[in-house]
Structure 1
Amino acid sequence: MSDNPNPKVKSGAQSIGALIGSVIAPVCAKRGFATADLISSWADIVGPRYATTTMPEKITWPRRDQAKAPAGATLVVRVDAGMAIYLQHETGVMLDRINGFLGFGAVSQLKIVQGAVSSPRKAAVAPAPLSPAEEAQVVETVASVESDGLRQALERLGRGVYASARRP
């Protein structure tokens, strides 16, 4: 018999996926997704061309009482404006890939919504140069490392540590 008085509480380490599933499930359900699998595997489903420029928004399932309802669901996909026309021409291919991932013909239509998908990238800011004393400390610390590549990598790491310690 287990020493744990509450059998629902697991002891030991758990994967982040197991812990976050209960948080993500209501959000996915609100947007029509049964699970987060379609969202998390989106880049693999649509391929590298659309991985960073498209994003599934929600799935709209037809109502049972509608006589003219389509046979499957409608997947709303947000697309960067420049890629919308390309996705529209490849709608059939995308539907095949999506339904192939799901394992059945769940989605019969794509609704393309233009909007920003990719977040603007921040320009990399070069760290301020180290003082001569800090530079000497970094070089002295890793001087005994025989491998040139490893020594250079450790020097870069040391410079980064000093630079991050100076940030406000």
Structure 2
Amino acid sequence: MSDNSNPKGNRSARSIGALIGSVIAPICAKRGFATADLISAWADIVGPRYATTTMPEKITWPRRDQTKAPAGATLVIRVDSGMAIYLQHETSVMLDRINGFLGFGAVSQLKIVQGVVSAPRKAVTAPPPLSRADEAIVADTVASVESDGLREALARLGRGVYGSARRP
């Protein structure tokens, strides 16, 4: 009989999301986020104009014992100084987008905090154009996908994979 009491001997492959979730969960909870979904989808929620110049900091939920508490939570957003005034003018639009993502009116107020959101990024070079043969392979691979949006997304992914594999 073998002794399988050694936990290190029975490790199986696990997804990176399963491993990182246990690390991120306490940090998100400390900042008022139930999950990291809002943070990870932030660029899609706010759009390209605010994707690199804003970042959700924390959510402050009203106390239960407050009788005149706001209907929802307050989302604190860090904004690059030059973009704060623009975001302030679009507060109602951002609230609609955030609550649309969450599925209900969880956030009723935005608190804008000015600060550095991101360090300057290095310029990303586009991958070299694909050869006709590689382009045909990508097109044939995704041709059976019925959804136009999904087919285009998979084709972009395929082009990126083939392009990065050919980089010097």
TM over 0.5: yes
2:35 aligns with 35
Q: How does 1:35-114 map to 2 (within 5 A)?
A: 35-114=35-114
Structure-1 separation of matches of 2:93 and 2:73: 16
Structure-2 separation of matches of 1:4 and 1:16: 25
Structure-2 separation of matches of 1:46 and 1:93: 9
How far 1:5 sits from its partner (Å)?
Answer: 6.4
Give 2:67's aligned amino acid: A
Identify if the C-alpha distance between structure 1 residues 5 and 109 changes in structure 2 by more than 3 Å, giving closer, same or farther.
same
**What secondary structure does 1:119 align onto?**
coil
Identify if the C-alpha distance between structure 1 residues 92 and 11 changes in structure 2 by more than 3 Å, giving closer, same or farther.
same
How far 1:68 sits from its partner (Å)?
Answer: 1.4
Larger radius of gyration: 1
Identify if the C-alpha distance between structure 1 residues 10 and 78 changes in structure 2 by more than 3 Å, giving closer, same or farther.
farther
Give 2:117's aligned amino acid: V
**What secondary structure does 1:34 align onto?**
coil
2:148 aligns with none
**What secondary structure does 1:20 align onto?**
helix
Deviations 1:83-135 (A, max 9, x none): 001100110010000001001100000000000002134699xxxxxxxxxxx
**What secondary structure does 2:64 align onto?**
coil
Structure-2 separation of matches of 1:4 and 1:17: 27
Size of the aligned set, in residue pairs, is 127
**What secondary structure does 1:74 align onto?**
strand
Structure-1 separation of matches of 2:88 and 2:35: 25
TM-score by structure 2 length? 0.67
2:142 aligns with none
**What secondary structure does 2:67 align onto?**
coil
Identify if the C-alpha distance between structure 1 residues 21 and 69 changes in structure 2 by more than 3 Å, giving closer, same or farther.
same
Unpaired stretches in structure 1, ≥5 consecutive residues: 125-152, 158-168
Give 2:33's aligned amino acid: F
Structure-2 separation of matches of 1:116 and 1:63: 30
- Quick one: percent identity of the two aligned structures? 86
